[in-house]
Amino acid sequence: MSNKKSLGCIFMVFILIIIIVISLVTCTGNGDSEPPVDLEASVTFDGTQFHVTNNNDFAWNDAKFTLNETYYYTASIDMEPKTEYTIGAAVFSKKDGTRFNPFTQKHSRMFIQVKTENGYISSAFEWK
């Protein structure tokens, strides 16, 4: 009878080890996860318009732009890769509706955030 109990215990330990190994493999993944992606862009300003180029190999979805930390603009289209987009300075507005005026205000910083398959990525640009 003790041999049957010993075999039963060994079998249970073996099953438990298999369950633990399967759990570890499932929780840690197989190492094929996507590396982080950088937002690759260039931004210039001609006095009234910002020229933003998507230098990534994928379209930017849900692109949000913040100018001088207080003025906002969200692109209503997907921004295709390797394409330049012109954004008028006056489309940037504060939450209260006040528009950015490039003739009376200086642009100093722009923050861009876009949605990807793996979450949001962003980049910042500064002018002196």
- d(CA 96, CA 91) in angstroms, rounded, equals 13
Q: Which two tokens stand for residue 97?
A: 């509706």
The fold for domain 41-126 equals Immunoglobulin-like (2.60.40)
In the chain, where the domains are located: 41-126
- d(CA 44, CA 68) in angstroms, rounded, equals 15
Which neighbouring-strand residues pair with 71?
A: 67
What pLDDT score does 97 carry? 96
Give the confidence band of 32 by pLDDT, cuts at 50, 70, 90: low
For the segment 6-23, what is each residue's pLDDT rounded down to a tens digit?
A: 776 677 766 767 676 666
H or E segment to which residue 54 belongs: strand 49-54
- d(CA 82, CA 54) in angstroms, rounded, equals 5
For the segment 39-55, what is each residue's pLDDT rounded down to a tens digit?
A: 999 999 999 999 999 99
For the segment 75-118, what is each residue's pLDDT rounded down to a tens digit?
A: 988 899 999 999 999 999 999 999 999 999 999 999 999 988 78
Please state, in angstroms and as integers, the Cα–Cα distance from residue 92 to each residue in 15, 25, 87, following that order.
62, 48, 9
What pLDDT score does 75 carry? 92
Residue 66: pLDDT above 80?
yes
How many whole angstroms from its chain centre is CA 102? 29
